[in-house]
Structure 1
Amino acid sequence: MAGSSGVNFPSDPKNPTGPRPTTDLNKGAFVAAVAKQDAKLAEEITKVKNWRFGYSSHVLKQTELACKSYDTALNIANDGLDYLHTTMVFERDGKELPVREAMAKYFSTKSDKLFTAIVKGEKKQTSPIGLEVPYGGKVLRGN
């Protein structure tokens, strides 16, 4: 879409103007995240036929692997992010670039960089804390 700007999933090479698939990218991120730490787990993930319904046990295995050590957890996170930074795209002015390239191009000065911030409120919570998601004309609440 002309004039849009932001991060998006890569287009489908078989149907570049169609919907952008998410499942293969998601699966690829899990493979990339664990491959250097546990090649057997990466191969196991690669072989899952229906990732949309077969991912949950592998998320648990990745979490267990990450719990082995601080370095393992950090490497899994960094390798997964590296995959996403080179695979996800950033669109601006009708052009797409891998996120990593876009960060270098569009956010080149220190003041342009993304950053983490903490926002701390000073007023008391007046309503119950919970998650609410509008869905199908209703508002879903709870865990």
Structure 2
Amino acid sequence: MVLVFSSLGIIFSVWELIARPFAHNYNKGLAYFSLNTWLKASRELLEFLIIAYASFYLVILSLIAVQFVFRYSTLFKPHWAKKFGGFGVVVWMVYSLFSGAVYGGSLYYFCSPDAFTDEYMEYVPENVWILNYRFQRHNL
């Protein structure tokens, strides 16, 4: 599990360099987009890259939870630790991958851009983002 965790961490870091995700919440809206300019890819590919990035994030988070359960069971319930060996490794990996797939699927389904959200978020960059960045620059 430790090798899988470290491998996923490396893949996650490389994926972040490619996807370059950025998230911004404003009242009832969520703007989750890519700052990637060098790839010159289509919007669909960038959406896929962002969703895969978020899925990798949750897979890593669930692997941390599995590691916690494993270490807890090793210390306090040693007979439970047998569930993490052999076929148990496959079960825990499938659990982590399934949770990432559910998160990525729900992100794609519920956070896809549509006319309502485009209209709602239309004035946000002008009134919120730019003002926030100017405000931060003056404080530096």
Taking structure 1 as the reference length, the TM-score comes to: 0.29
> If each structure's strand is expressed as a fraction of its own residues, which one has the higher value?
1
> If each structure's helix is expressed as a fraction of its own residues, which one has the higher value?
2
